[in-house]
Amino acid sequence: MKVLIAGNSQASPLMLALRGNLFPRDSGLVLAFNVTPGGTGPHFGIENGKLKVLDHSGPYAPHVSPADVADMRISDFDAIVVSALGFVDGGFAYPSTLVSRTVVAEFGPKPALGDVPMISQSCFRDILSTALESHPGFRFLRLLQQGYTGRILVQPFPYLSDVMIDRADWRIRRQYEDALGFHEYLNGTRDNFLERLCTTTLVELLPRPQLEARAPFFAPAAIMSERDGLHPKPEYGALVLEGIRNAVL
Amino acid sequence: MPAADFWRPKWQIQKTDKIATAGSCFAQHIGKRLRGAAFEVLDYEPPPKDLPASLHGKHGYSLYSARHGNIYTVRQFLQLAQEAFGEAPANSEVWEHGGRFVDALRPTLDPEGHGTVEAVHLHRERHLGAVKRLFQTADIYVFTLGLTESWERVSDGRVYPVCPGTVVGRFDDTQHRFRNQTFFDAYEDFLKLRDLAARHRWDNNQLRFMLTVSPVPLTATAAGCHVMQATVYSKSVLRAVAGQLATKFDDVDYFPAYEIITNPWGSYPAYTSNLRSVAEEGVDLVMETFLRAQGVDAGRRKADLAAESVTFATAPEADNDEAASTVVCEDALLEAFGPRSA
C-alpha cells in the first residue's frame, strides 16, 4: 500500500521513526514524504495531478523522501495522510496570535491585559474555526478532496508537552490565572472542530496515540522535544505510523 | 417638497467630530451608513481582528459605539450611563440558562452566554468602561428612541431591554413589572442624561445629541390595547419628546427619519414584506437626506455606499428581507418566542 505523508514539521517524527527503525520497514506500507515547514501548513497546492509547493523560497522549501516524490502524481498513492492539522498554540517557543490577541473571561485573564479585547467563548470558537479554515493545511485538505479519489487521512496536531505546566514563559501561563483551564478549552475546541470537519467531509481522522500526561490535552514530556515542547520525538512518530497502518491495512 | 428640504440641521457635523451611536435597532443603519460616508463613528468595543465581518452581529459587535445591544428607552440609556459613572449601583443581575450565564441587561448579546457568573461581571465591567469613555469623548451622540413600553425590576426600577422570560431569564411578577413610560418620564430622563454627560466631559465641549425616532412599529404590546394603538402612542410620545428637546436646547437636534419612512406621500416601499423592517430603499432615502443636509458629496457618498454594499453582499444573506434581518433586533426574537401578543 503506497502512502504519501503530505505534512508540515510534525511529519518529522514519522520520518525519524522510520530512519531509526522504530517502525518496521516491512509493515506493508510504502511511505513517501513531502513536507513543508510551518505549523499551519503543509503549504501545498495541486497542479497537473501533483503536489505543488506554494512557496519554494525561504521557510517553506520542501523536504522530500524519496527524492523524486514531487514528480509523482497523487493518484499514484493509495492513501494520503495530511500531517498534522490543527496548530493553535506554539507553547513557549512559538508565538500564537490566536492565543494572544484576545482573552476569555472564564479563565481569569491577568490584570495587565486590560487592553486586550475580552471575548466570549462562543466568539473565540468562531475565531478559532475561521483561523483554522484559513490555514494553508486546511486549504490543502479541501483541494485534496476535490482532486484526489483515494483515501485521505488527517493526523491531528500533537498536544503540547506537559512541561508547559511548569513553564512561566508559556504564553497561556502569562495570560491566564487558570492557564490549564484555557489550554483544555482551546484544545477541546480545536479537537471538536477537527472531528466535525472530518465527519462532515468524510475524511478519516487518525486517533491520537494514547499517552498519559500530567494533565488533560498534554503529551508526556518524555516523548516530546525538550527544545520547544511542541515537536514529538520519533517514538511518537512510530505510534502515529502504527495508527496509519491500522487505518489503511 | 424635495427630499433635500426634509431636514435643515442645526449644526453641520464635521469630519473630525467623533460620533457615537445608540438606540433601538433602526439606529444600526445610521451607524453603518455614517461610517460608510467616512464620518468618524466611534467603536470602543470593536470586534476582535480575527472575527470575520459576517459574524460581528452574531456576537454583538459593530452595531453601536459600545457593545450594549439595542437600547429602546431613554431610561435604559440613562441608567446605563449612571452605572458607568458610578451614579447608580452596578448591575449584578445574571440570568442562568442551560448552565450558562447572561447579563440580564444584555441578554441577547452573547449567543451562548458565559461559563461563569464572574465572567459576566468581567465583561460588564469592561463594557461600562467603554460607555464611560464614550460620554467623555464623543462630540455627538446619535440616539434613536424606540419604545416607551418597558419592563423594570420592582426593587429599584432598573429597566430591562427585553421582558424577562421571553428570550432568556424567568418572569416573576413579584420582581418584574411593566411600565409604559409617559412623555414626562422620557423627557425628564433625557434631561438627567444630558446633565450627566455635561458633568463628566473630558473637555469643555458640550456633548451634542442627534435624536431620531425609530419607524419600526411594535411587534407586541403589554399595554392592554391593540398593537396598532400601542405603536402610535409610543411613537407619538417619543416624537413629542424629541421635538420638545430639540426646540429647547441648541445642543439637541432632531432628524426626521421617522417621518421620512412613515409619511403617506412616499412613492417608495417603506417596509419589507413583514411590514415591520424598514426597506433598504427607505433606509437609503433617510440616509441620503441626512448626508445631503450635512453637505456630504453625493458622488463620493454613492461610492462609499457601493463599497459598503459589496461588503455585505458577500454575506450569505442576500435577499431584501434577509439583508434587513442582519440588523439585530430583539423584537424579532420576541415575535418568534415571546408569550405576549396583542
Do strands B208-213 and B252-254 pair parallel, antiparallel, or not at all (unpaired)?
A: parallel
Tell me the ipTM for this assembly: 0.88
pLDDT at position B317 = 25
**Position B325 confidence tier, pLDDT thresholds 50, 70, 90:** very low
- B119 contacts chain A (CB < 8 A): yes
* Under 8 Å between Cβ of B194 and B209: yes
| Residue B201 CB-half CA count within 13 A | 14
pLDDT at position B280 = 86
Count other Cβ atoms within 10 Å, centred on residue A158.
Answer: 25
Do strands A151-156 and A79-85 pair parallel, antiparallel, or not at all (unpaired)?
A: parallel
The residue-averaged pLDDT of B9-19 equals 93
* The length of chain B, given as a count of residues: 342
Using a CB-CB distance cutoff of 8 angstroms, which residues of chain A are in contact with residue B114? 105-106, 120-121
Consecutive 10-residue runs of chain A (249 residues): their mean pLDDT? 95 93 91 91 93 72 87 96 96 90 96 92 97 95 94 97 96 96 97 95 94 96 95 96 95
pLDDT at position A8 = 92
**Position B320 confidence tier, pLDDT thresholds 50, 70, 90:** very low
* Under 8 Å between Cβ of B239 and B231: no
SS3 B101: strand
- Read off φ and ψ for residue A72, nearest 5 degrees: -80, 145
Contact A102/B48, CB-based, under 8 Å?
A: yes
Task: With a cut of 60, say whether residue B96 has pLDDT above it.
Answer: yes
Task: With a cut of 60, say whether residue B342 has pLDDT above it.
Answer: no
- Read off φ and ψ for residue B230, nearest 5 degrees: -60, -40
* Under 8 Å between Cβ of A161 and A221: yes
Instruction: Choose the weakest-confidence range: B167-171, B244-248, B249-253.
Output: B167-171
The residue-averaged pLDDT of B240-244 equals 98
pLDDT at position B340 = 42
Residue in B with minimal Cα distance to A102: B48
Please give the full DSSP string across A70-98, using - where no structure is assigned: GGS-GGG-SEEEEEEE-----TTTS--HH
pLDDT at position A60 = 62
Interface test with A, best of B51, B94, B112, B128 (most A CBs within 10 A): B51
Interface test with B, best of A127, A132, A176, A184 (most B CBs within 10 A): A127
Domain boundaries, chain A: 1-87+135-158+231-249
SS3 B298: helix
SS3 B19: strand
Do strands A79-85 and A2-7 pair parallel, antiparallel, or not at all (unpaired)?
A: parallel
Residues 51-70 of B with CB under 8 A from A: 51-52, 55, 58-59
The set of residues, in sequence order, having a beta carbon less than 8 Å from that of B277 and lying 6+ positions away, is: B216, B271, B321, B324, B325, B327, B329
User: Which of B46, B51, B114 is nearest residue A105 as measured by Cβ atoms?
Assistant: B114
The set of residues, in sequence order, having a beta carbon less than 8 Å from that of B306 and lying 6+ positions away, is: none
CATH number 2.60.120 is the correct assignment for the domain at A1-87+135-158+231-249? no
The residue-averaged pLDDT of B247-260 equals 96
pLDDT at position B40 = 95
Query: What's the mean per-residue pLDDT of chain B?
Result: 85
| Residue A7 CB-half CA count within 13 A | 26
C-alpha distance from B231 to closest chain A C-alpha (Å): 35
Q: Which neighbouring-strand residues pair with A33?
A: A5, A65
- B117 contacts chain A (CB < 8 A): no
Using a CB-CB distance cutoff of 8 angstroms, which residues of chain B are in contact with residue A131? 50
SS3 B72: coil
**Position B310 confidence tier, pLDDT thresholds 50, 70, 90:** very low
Please give the full DSSP string across A3-62, using - where no structure is assigned: EEEEESGGGHHHHHHHHTTSS-TTSS-EEEEEE--STT---EEEETTEEEES--SGGG--
The set of cell numbers assigned to B66 is 459600545
User: Which of A101, A122, A131 is nearest residue B112 as measured by Cβ atoms?
Assistant: A122
Task: With a cut of 70, say whether residue B180 has pLDDT above it.
Answer: yes
End-to-end CA distance of chain A: 8
pLDDT at position B278 = 84
* Under 8 Å between Cβ of B74 and B190: yes
Sheet with A2-7, side-by-side order of all strands:
A63-65, A30-35, A2-7, A79-85, A151-156, A204-205
Distance of alpha carbon A6 from alpha carbon A43, whole angstroms? 9
pLDDT in tens, B115-144: 999 999 999 999 999 999 999 999 999 999
Enumerate the H helices of B200-279 as residue ranges. Answer: 227-248, 257-262
Contact A127/B122, CB-based, under 8 Å?
A: no
The set of residues, in sequence order, having a beta carbon less than 8 Å from that of A249 and lying 6+ positions away, is: A1, A28, A29
Amino acid type, A137: G
**Position B283 confidence tier, pLDDT thresholds 50, 70, 90:** confident
Q: Which neighbouring-strand residues pair with A9?
A: none
Distance of alpha carbon A73 from alpha carbon A49, whole angstroms? 5
* Under 8 Å between Cβ of B33 and B283: yes
pLDDT at position B3 = 61
Contact A121/B112, CB-based, under 8 Å?
A: yes
The residue-averaged pLDDT of B247-255 equals 97
Distance of alpha carbon A59 from alpha carbon B6, whole angstroms? 61
Distance of alpha carbon B64 from alpha carbon B30, whole angstroms? 9
User: Which of B49, B58, B116 is nearest residue A106 as measured by Cβ atoms?
Assistant: B116
The set of residues, in sequence order, having a beta carbon less than 8 Å from that of B249 and lying 6+ positions away, is: B194
pLDDT at position B4 = 62
End-to-end CA distance of chain B: 37
User: Whole-prediction pTM value?
Assistant: 0.87
The residue-averaged pLDDT of B31-47 equals 92
pLDDT at position B279 = 85
The set of cell numbers assigned to A247 is 487505518
pLDDT at position A58 = 60
Task: With a cut of 60, say whether residue B301 has pLDDT above it.
Answer: no
